[in-house]
Structure 1
């Protein structure tokens, strides 16, 4: 990708960030080198930080996103309040094994520890935590211990079938290999957001470890 394309991509990303009502009031700088976008600046919540990353990833031609955005929550929320709010939110979710999750907070950084029965449950617990006011970052250390292990061949077939019927992935070259509840994604997709989408879909299944080796673009750049 030449310098002109990098400048155009940076402009597209910057304009998309400014049009988003969650981010329009915040100054986020964008620099692009060889298709890789670096985001800098500050936002008041981790959720908005993720929104900025996802928007950049969704722009056609973006091959990678380097996140240097700082989360600066509004004052007045103590670590104790964040921990209490997070535990309460997890408690209200019928899909979370809340008794097996420990919530620790230091300087606005929330650490989740314990065990869950699926990768999807781990992602859900993290997502719920992100909604707690004052959270700067989430460290998800939850261990996945499936209640029942699916056979590798059956699990591979199920994941492949779901990916092949997922919008905007059906015509992409995505492969899955599962061994002992560990999944590896490979192949090639056109855009970075499609790689992320394949990752999200696979995490719905009872896999303990997911490694995403899907290449992005026509020239093998990741």
Structure 2
């Protein structure tokens, strides 16, 4: 098991290796396996990429982000311009029905709302917006419409876990209440964690996934 010092070095090295991140502007602190990133970045996309880079490092148990998005003068846009760009981009996103997602922008922060049938549609909206110039953050409040019974959802998720790369699906417990799914148990790394949550989100009728799984290295 890595010490906090080793983990700090590995996260810093991963940030240095990630070409979309200005690692020199990001500080890394580690305590009991919990990594904190602090500093300034030029865009929301860079912030997101820094978080993803840190999560790739083996031994990271949790991540806290204190990164501040400070747009350069060339990147600044009015909220009206950002809203228009977001709406135009969503219209060109093939997985989304026209008008399914509503957009509100305040201080560069984009809030998405509305209703879709699947999690991949919900995620596609966020992915489309993340890299737009002038965006300082994204809140995804898009709801997923229920379409299945709790028992059916549980069985489908458990079957999906057995088919995926999760080492031992027996270590993950699936609890379903309506369209809300809670995952508990243990996984060995962030990839297994994402695979498990993806399996849950990929099930029809799931509106919310609560990740209470524990990383065990």
Aligned match of 1:30: 28
| CA–CA distance in structure 2, aligned partners of residues 26 and 205 of structure 1 | 41
Aligned match of 1:200: 198
> What per-residue deviation string (whole Å, max 9, x for no partner) do you get for residues 158-191 of structure 1?
2222222223x13352222223222111111122
Aligned match of 1:85: 85
Give the drift of 1:25.
Answer: 5.8
Is contact 2:22–2:41 with CA below 8 Å preserved after alignment? no
Aligned match of 1:134: 134
Structure 2: gaps spanning 5 or more residues: none
| CA–CA distance in structure 2, aligned partners of residues 44 and 194 of structure 1 | 31
Aligned match of 2:172: 174
> What per-residue deviation string (whole Å, max 9, x for no partner) do you get for residues 131-160 of structure 1?
2211100112222223xx223333222222
Does structure 1 residue 209 correspond to structure 2 residue 208?
Answer: yes
Per the alignment, in what secondary structure is the counterpart of residue 99 of structure 2? helix
Aligned residues: 213
Aligned match of 1:106: 106
Q: Structure 1 segments of 4 or more deviating over 6 A?
A: none
Find 2:44's aligned residue among 43, 46, 49.
Answer: 46
Aligned match of 2:57: 59
| CA–CA distance in structure 1, aligned partners of residues 174 and 136 of structure 2 | 34
Kindly tell me: are residues 134 and 26 of structure 1, through their superposed partners in 2, closer, same or farther at Cα, counting changes over 3 Å?
A: farther
> What per-residue deviation string (whole Å, max 9, x for no partner) do you get for residues 67-99 of structure 1?
111112333422112111111110011211341
Per the alignment, in what secondary structure is the counterpart of residue 72 of structure 2? coil
Q: TM-score, normalised by structure 1?
A: 0.87
> What per-residue deviation string (whole Å, max 9, x for no partner) do you get for residues 186-213 of structure 1?
1111224432332233212230121111
Kindly tell me: are residues 47 and 204 of structure 1, through their superposed partners in 2, closer, same or farther at Cα, counting changes over 3 Å?
A: farther
Kindly tell me: are residues 50 and 197 of structure 1, through their superposed partners in 2, closer, same or farther at Cα, counting changes over 3 Å?
A: farther
| CA–CA distance in structure 1, aligned partners of residues 7 and 98 of structure 2 | 43
| CA–CA distance in structure 1, aligned partners of residues 72 and 102 of structure 2 | 25
Per the alignment, in what secondary structure is the counterpart of residue 129 of structure 1? helix
| CA–CA distance in structure 2, aligned partners of residues 58 and 24 of structure 1 | 17
Give the drift of 1:40.
Answer: 0.6
Is contact 2:12–2:23 with CA below 8 Å preserved after alignment? no
| CA–CA distance in structure 2, aligned partners of residues 211 and 78 of structure 1 | 35
| CA–CA distance in structure 2, aligned partners of residues 101 and 56 of structure 1 | 31
Root-mean-square deviation (CA, aligned residues, Å) is: 2.0
